[in-house]
Amino acid sequence: MGSPRILIVGGVAAGASAATRARRVNEHAEIVMFEAGEHVSFANCGLPYYIAGSIADRTKLLLATPEYFKRTFNIDARTGHEVLEIDRAGKRVQVLCRATGERIWERYDKLILAPGASPIVPPWPGVKSSNVFSLRDVPDADRVKSYVDARQPKRAVLIGAGFIGLEMVEVLTERGVAVTLVEQQRHVLPVFDEEMAAVMEAVLARHGVELRLGQTLEKLTTDGDRVTDVRLSDGSVIPADMVLLAMGVRPNVKLAANAGLTIGPSGGIAVNEYSQTSDPDIYAVGDAAEVMHGVLGRAARIPLAGPANRNGRLAGEHAATGRSARTTPVLGTAIVGAFGKVAASTGMTVRAARQAGYNVGFSYAIRGHHVGYYPGAEQMILKLVYEQRTRRVLGAQAVGGAGVDKRIDVVATVLHFRGTIDDLAGLDLAYAPQFGAAKDPLHIAAFVAQNQEDGLLRQAGVDGLPADAQLIDVRSEQEFRSGALAGAVNVPLPALRSRLDELDRNRPVYVYCRVGQRGYVAARILAQHGFADVWNIYGGVTLNLPKEAMSCGL
């Protein structure tokens, strides 16, 4: 095993995990960790909740201190130390001590790069104003919290509607700030399909958030060192007491690139299955490194805490012992909550799968997270994405309340083992009335997918219906009166068999209900009574009339 000298560039998730795993498998290694910032290990995912006040004690964000690393693991963790250069031939790095300005060279046997990523901050005039913020580390959170506490801003413009963006929209809104959310894509949560993101958009709007979608920031107007308003690409001007940038992150690869290490096509540091770079004595993990995409089977950059921790752990073991398990592919499984609602995803969206060349099928289940007769069931919309030829599951998205995380985690497990819609349909999941249903929403989504691929069901959206289509609403008369799709005729499902003669068998028939189940039954009735061109509108009015999604608890 020996006593290698292992240097680690960066702490937080990947670097700290690498350091502690290296120590646990090799008591005799010399381990030194350099962190340029103030804190060697902190909970960056908890920063919005500290600003909100949900985490009242700031020290709870600091997961480990240099003293803790030394006392518990005999690891030399040095904060305020920035690694400036890698001399691969001499197997050494140049380190700047920010407190003294001193530069020293430190030799290594193995080097682990975990430099992370930096917030995207375009070089706009005024972007360094005192009321323009980003959120990546504890000092960033301190600045935002201090400003909101002291200045009590009335209006904020938030640029970027990803996960951090939605979390901070909730935080600022709950603190009494009127928020305008700007996103250059056509919908919030760009990693979701549009109709799934639309549910979260309705939640945001219901809580007073102004959405400016398909827009970019054109100009920051300043007065002294403060931004006073923001001009968007459509020419509109929005007053702002503060601006928060949540436009994503860029991997910190300059150190690796300057050392001649290979940078992959995704923009991250290229690594093999043991996180070794193009130099086998140098590893790269975390947000700066590429990972293997679990569906596509090729390198990608997926900056999430889970993969960073897991891959850091394995890199530390390999550096300390010369062996470890291989890193596992990453699916991009993620979840966000805002205003009591939850959105989560894993694997690929329909849009991404089509762009990758898959012949894509998809299905929906709109159900409670447990049986309806037991009090407290919370509705969710679950979307399942799969490859039609092989029936392999490619991904899933879910929006709702309780139970969303459970379903997405199950699909992530199915994806890991390259499972099919048939595997998902047959899963033996825990059931009791207060926890789920004998036919779980996951089962329903898989059943719908099977019905589609087995020829029992054809589904379509409401856009682009044929000119001669017959649009039939099979809900009750009362439901129909509360709101229906334009041009629909109401034929309640119990009366359908007795009213078949009212329909033209030579024209296509499109049926729908509230969520899709009654529409499926109606489609089967029609197909078996001689109607050759029958379609069910997927998602019913819940997906196609936004107010319906709200009225059913979403």
**Where is 423: in which H helix or E strand?**
helix 421-425
For residues 446 and 396, the answer to whether their CB atoms sit within 8 Å is no
Q: How far is C-alpha 324 from the geometric centre of its chain's CA atoms?
A: 29
CB count within 10 Å of CB 411 equals 29
Whole-angstrom distance, CA of residue 187 vs CA of residue 166: 12
In order of 510, 512, 535, the CA distances from 461 in angstroms are 10, 10, 9
The residue assigned the tokens 């529409």 is 519
For residues 245 and 120, the answer to whether their CB atoms sit within 8 Å is yes
Contacting residues for 12 by C-beta, under 8 A, at least 6 apart: 35, 40, 41, 42, 44, 114, 116, 286, 308
Whole-angstrom distance, CA of residue 231 vs CA of residue 243: 12
Whole-angstrom distance, CA of residue 265 vs CA of residue 278: 14
What is the torsional sign of CA 409, 410, 411, 414? positive
Short-list 233, 248, 244, CA closest to 159: 244
Contacting residues for 454 by C-beta, under 8 A, at least 6 apart: none
Identify each DSSP E strand in 409-496 by its residue range. 459-460, 470-473, 489-490
**Residue 552 annotated among the catalytic residues of the structure:** no
- Mode of pairing for the β-strands spanning 217-223 and 291-292: unpaired
Short-list 117, 212, 124, CA closest to 161: 212
Q: Count the helices and strands in the chain (H runs, E runs).
A: 16, 32
Measured between its terminal Cα atoms, the distance across the chain in Å is 56
What is the torsional sign of CA 413, 377, 484, 454? positive
Candidate list 45, 97, 513, 552, residue with the active-site label: 45
**Where is 251: in which H helix or E strand?**
strand 249-251
Whole-angstrom distance, CA of residue 375 vs CA of residue 433: 9
In order of 100, 169, 365, the CA distances from 516 in angstroms are 67, 33, 8
User: Which residues form the catalytic set?
Assistant: 45
